[in-house]
Structure 1
Amino acid sequence: MPPSGPVAGTVATMTRTDVEVAEAALATLDLTDLNDDATLEDAEALARRARQVGTAAVCVWPRFVSACVAELAGSPVKVATVVNFPSGAEGVDGVVELTRRAVADGADEIDLVLPYRAFLAGDVAAAERMIDAVGRATGPAQLKVIIESGELASVEVIKAAARLAIDHGADFVKTSTGKSPVSATPEAARAILEVIRAVPKGAPAVGFKASGGIRTTADARVYLELADEIMGEGWVSPATFRFGASGLLNDVLSVIEGTETPENTSAY
């Protein structure tokens, strides 16, 4: 489990160079392909690329988990998948069954979409039932709860959703699916990180994942500096912090290698 970080009020003073930002982003990247038309060949190529460059994980549709596990055998790169995705409105039984199959296929991490529409409508119990049931099905794998922060009404609602996820066993709180009009924002990230910082000492620790619309090293810097500020220097690592993206990879590699960035139009 990731360490929760320093006490409230800690302010980091770390200043990262562009190359250091790019290296941190690469090490914490969940290289993602959740396009509707993604193929088995796409997923296998994604896994090979992740292994080659050393990302934290790949994130693919559940039907591709076993293939990615095979491609990444012997590698430290994790395999993540998504459930109740992207709508957040599927039935609990079906989501649980999909989770069980993904874990049986070798998934290391399950990214679950919170039933955020039910939550917004005041049906907190529905959100609790989903997280609890999927958490049980996840077993030894990590549970990353996507709160779809861009669809929530305010910072206070974002914080309430993050607290709910943490109270019901989330190992990470993730901003977004990348499928809604508003994905990760610095405001949402700050709200979630402040909730994570407030996790009591001795309680299970929680990480943070920013996902959607993060395409450049400059974008990544914003979120890394927020984590440094709120959680303290040294908190960011693959065990505590992730980016969910594919469009980010080319830019961070170009910064590390000192080359121009190829054009990239990926939505993730």
Structure 2
Amino acid sequence: MTKLDATLNRLVEEARTAPASAEIAARALPLLDLTSLNDDDTDERIAALCDRAVTEAGGVAAVCIYPRFVPLAKQRLSNKGVAIATVINFPAGGTDAAAVSADTKAAVRAGADEIDVVLPWRTFQSGERTIPHDVLRACRDACGDGVLMKVILETGGLDDAGLIEQASRDAISAGADFIKTSTGKLNPAATLEAAAIMMAVIRDCGRPVGFKAAGGIRDTAGAAGYLYLSNVLLGPGWATPSTFRFGASGLLDALLADLGQTTTGRKPSGGY
């Protein structure tokens, strides 16, 4: 990745050493989008994922699943205070705005509360701006009122500080409620460097926008660095479920262990 400016680089280095603790685990748990996005997901696996979403230590923010499982998750988590998130044009970041609109409308009708849509990042990387904007606007319009749009930038593919900054700004301009690092299908996934750039854009954008780190965050120590960046760049009280998410599959059990809770023992076989 292109070198960060000196201030962000210093913050990233500090974030790498942010200590893990039970307090950090307690902060991170309600920020979790508990995720299973495997090609071989089944009703049984998604039902088990939903059953894991409410623990003795509290509930997660959302479950994130493929659209075909939205009705099942909606039924399974009825009145549990856990949102249903799903993915559109995932993971490749398709450029067909009409298809994105239709798929988003179908997911919302099925009960999705949140839509994670992929910026057509390869097209964006090539220098094209109209097509990515049109795709995101189609999703935003199809979401309607009350449904969150989280835009996945696929920062590991962009792999350039300037491109990540511009993609963040363009996603926000197109109506993003959250900007999200990664699909979890490409390496590197979430990085502290990308997170610092994205949070700095959020800080300066002039309206409330959330941040989601997704992919490769597996323990409390991994979560601690992102929370440190949010504290410094956006304020100690900024990271709440309405502004900050971790997209992960295995992180929940690690957080519960650090909170002294019995772990669920039923991790998805993949996802994030």
> After TM superposition, is the score higher than 0.5?
yes
Query: Matches of 1:212 and 1:183 in 2, distance apart?
Result: 5
Letter paired with 1:133: A
Q: For residue 210 of structure 1, what is the aligned residue in structure 2?
A: 213
SS at match of 1:68: helix
Query: Matches of 2:264 and 2:78 in 1, distance apart?
Result: 30
Letter paired with 1:86: P
Query: Matches of 1:64 and 1:208 in 2, distance apart?
Result: 25
Partner deviation per Cα, 1:190-242 (whole Å, 9 max, x = no partner): 00000000022xx3x10000000000110000101111111011001000000
Preserved contact between residue 68 and residue 79 of structure 1 (Cα < 8 Å): yes
Distance 1:90 1:62, change over 3 A: farther
SS at match of 1:86: coil
Q: For residue 25 of structure 2, what is the aligned residue in structure 1?
A: 22
Partner deviation per Cα, 1:34-64 (whole Å, 9 max, x = no partner): 0110111111211121034510000000000
Distance 1:50 1:258, change over 3 A: closer
Q: Is residue 57 from structure 1 mapped to residue 62 from structure 2 by the alignment?
A: yes
Query: Matches of 1:217 and 1:36 in 2, distance apart?
Result: 27
SS at match of 2:176: coil
SS at match of 1:235: coil
Letter paired with 1:227: S
Q: Any unmatched runs of 5+ in structure 2?
A: 1-10, 12-17
SS at match of 2:35: strand
Distance 1:60 1:20, change over 3 A: same
2:131 aligned residue (123, 126, 131): 126
Q: Is residue 146 from structure 1 mapped to residue 149 from structure 2 by the alignment?
A: no
User: Scaled by the length of structure 1, what TM-score is found?
Assistant: 0.89
How far is 1:262 from its partner?
7.2
How far is 1:89 from its partner?
2.1
Q: Is residue 244 from structure 1 mapped to residue 247 from structure 2 by the alignment?
A: yes
Partner deviation per Cα, 1:131-184 (whole Å, 9 max, x = no partner): 001100011200000000000131111000000000111000000000012100
Identical counterparts, % of pairs: 46
How far is 1:267 from its partner?
5.3
2:204 aligned residue (195, 198, 201): 198
The number of equivalent residue pairs is 252
How far is 1:90 from its partner?
4.6
Alignment of 1:1-268 (within 5 A): 18-52=21-55, 53-140=58-145, 141-200=147-206, 203=207, 205-257=208-260, 266=270, 268=272
Query: Matches of 1:259 and 1:68 in 2, distance apart?
Result: 23
Root-mean-square deviation (CA, aligned residues, Å) is 2.0
Query: Matches of 1:36 and 1:20 in 2, distance apart?
Result: 35
Letter paired with 1:20: E
Q: For residue 8 of structure 2, what is the aligned residue in structure 1?
A: none
Partner deviation per Cα, 1:87-131 (whole Å, 9 max, x = no partner): 002522222111111100111100000000110111100000000
Distance 1:16 1:56, change over 3 A: farther
Of the structure 1 ranges 91-100 and 57-66, higher mean CA displacement relative to structure 2 is found in 91-100
Query: Matches of 2:259 and 2:72 in 1, distance apart?
Result: 29
How far is 1:260 from its partner?
8.8
Query: Matches of 2:32 and 2:115 in 1, distance apart?
Result: 15
Distance 1:261 1:73, change over 3 A: closer
Letter paired with 1:156: G
Q: For residue 7 of structure 1, what is the aligned residue in structure 2?
A: none
Preserved contact between residue 33 and residue 246 of structure 2 (Cα < 8 Å): yes
Q: Any unmatched runs of 5+ in structure 1?
A: 1-10
